[in-house]
Structure 1
Amino acid sequence: MTTRPDGPDLVVLGVDGSAANLGALRYAVAEARLLGGRLKLVHVVPDYLSISPMVPLTAAEFTETGTEILRSAEAVARELAPDLEVEGWLHHGNRPAELVRGAEGAHVLVVGRDGRPLPQRLLRGDTAAAVAARAELPVVEIPAEWEPRPADAERVVVVGVKAAPHADDLLTDAFETARERDATLVVLHAWKLPTAYDDIVETRVAVDQWAREATLQMEELLREHRTEHPDVKVEVRVVHDHPSHALVEASHEADLVVLVRRAHGVPPAAHLGSTARAVLRSAQSPVRVVAPTTSRKE
């Protein structure tokens, strides 16, 4: 275990020992190699486990299991990238809180998608969503079945932009993420009201006119970022659709979808935003959630 301080070249992965976590491990290894950095694996032994009184377990046994989970993940990471510096850290306590604490100062925190049915996630909590709702650094959630796209495929990063508030933070992150990957940046803006209200709007404002005006607004938001990143190819895409559906559809062609979460409230998970929660649950690609105050600088 290294004692070097965390830094901007560090990728942190939340490890849970499940088969569904392997996609997240592959992504985290690839991200660390892309950055020329290090990979930190964090496993959290929960502070409470419901167990039968007929089968008593000790805290030491929990720690032993957690240590073995870390060792297995380290072995897979080193098999994938023998030249990568990998370290494992064992934490105890609340999983979302400890994962966020373990990633302080890092470049990104990677977590696997919770594939349990919705009722179970509501009853027992969704670690990935909870982490994305509270972390101050970018959080990337990985579908369990994720595999990297073919090496010769065009790289595409999709960023969902709703409105001007927090757009600068979001676009700063999205442009830098696209630059790191030598990817085309698709700036997606989608808008649609519930059906009855949407029908009224369509009769008063032609959709084509709305699309032209929305495109001009997007271009205004992009102007400074285009100047700062002239090497990033940008495509502006304005669609008349529900944002979550449009982003999930776009995720089929994307290497990554980038979103910004709502500003924090209490409790934080309630302010992740309905669009972000829907995309995290259903996107085919990894999803990167940016805190509203995140602006990465070189």
Structure 2
Amino acid sequence: MLPPVVAGVDGSPESLAAAEWAAREAERRGCGLRLVHARDGFPRRGESSDAALRHLARRALRRAEERVVETCPEVRHDDEQVPGPATGALLTASDRADLLVLGSRGLSGFTGFLVGSVALGVIARATTPVVLVRADEQAGDSHVPAPDGSASTRTPYRDVVLGLDVREACDEVIEFAFEAARLRDARLRVVHAWQQPSAFGLGPGDVALVDDPYRAEEWQGFLSAVLRVWRDKYSEVPVLETVVREKPATALVRAASEASLLVVGHRLTDRPIGPRTGPVTHAAVHHVSCPVAVVPHK
């Protein structure tokens, strides 16, 4: 049996949107859905306090279940209450999941997310892909508009966008993006952003390299070479390769403005200063309006 898609729920609008998105993803993948509530409390406070926490957890799970049944009635689903703290509980739940989905509150008047410490902590340490979904995400947002400009779930999916650094291309990230595009019957747009190195950072004999190896044509060739095997494996997925001379974070935010999903990688490290997200991933989860999949890799 395939591992389930897991959604973290707490009763908030953003977690309900995450549960709905997770149900649709489970339907696409042909797997089950598990709704998880992290009961972040201390039973030692007394039986009445613990009972109150269980009641709140049950209510949050019930609201999420109602949303799932309304959206995807055919999806198999179950629920689970797990003891907190929330970050650790969700990380444990993700170990048994194919994908973990969390909600993130949209910033009113801005394009982006308000990402809490729990979501950031999970993203930084999870060994399973994590998807962030904003509170106002609707099913029609992942599809191109209808001819009259209205939202529709009957039109084709928007592009899946993959942010890829060809110097550190990782199979896990690339495969996740191709599979996401295949499941949606969507085009995959792969974006590599490069910047001209400063002459001040080069040695005396390297000045001529500024304009040669970093040309867009060179990067385009590298990108095509990295993707060749994946194009062959996923021959049914149309691919658009995009190479731009720009800051990677800026390029991805722009490319994802009309996407159904943005896929970025996150390198797992054992640094003593604790888990961190890189600048590109940080920018993506804070400033992109579509769902963002953060795929861990070594």
1:143 equivalent to 2:134? Answer: yes
- Partner residue, 2:146: none
- Aligned in 2, Cα 1:278/1:229: closer, same or farther, shift over 3 Å? same
Structure 1 segment 51-200 matched on structure 2, within 5 A: 58-114=49-105, 126-148=117-139, 149=143, 150=152, 151-192=154-195
The residue identity in structure 2 corresponding to 1:37 is C
1:218 equivalent to 2:212? Answer: no
- Aligned in 2, Cα 1:180/1:62: closer, same or farther, shift over 3 Å? same
8 Å CA contact 2:264, 2:281 repeated in 1? yes
Distance of 1:241 and 1:258 partners within structure 2: 18
The structure 1 residue matched to 2:34, chosen from 28, 37, 40, is 40
User: Is the partner of 1:28 in helix, strand or coil?
Assistant: helix
Worse-matched range after superposition: 236-245 or 161-170: 161-170
- Partner residue, 1:18: 12
Count of aligned residue pairs for this structure pair: 275
Q: CA RMSD in A?
A: 3.1
- Partner residue, 1:232: 237
TM-score (norm 2): 0.82
User: Is the partner of 2:258 in helix, strand or coil?
Assistant: coil
- Partner residue, 2:147: none
User: Is the partner of 1:291 in helix, strand or coil?
Assistant: strand
Q: CA deviation at 1:230?
A: 1.1
Give 5+ residue unaligned stretches, structure 1: 1-6, 52-56, 294-298
Q: CA deviation at 1:48?
A: 5.9
Post-superposition Cα deviations, 1:218-260, rounded to whole Å, max 9, x if no partner, equal 1111111111111111111011111111111111111111111
Distance of 2:17 and 2:199 partners within structure 1: 41
- Partner residue, 2:284: 279
8 Å CA contact 1:178, 1:184 repeated in 2? yes
Give 5+ residue unaligned stretches, structure 2: 109-113, 144-151
Worse-matched range after superposition: 255-264 or 150-159: 150-159
Q: CA deviation at 1:43?
A: 0.5
> How high is the sequence identity, in percent, across the aligned residues?
32
TM-score (norm 1): 0.82
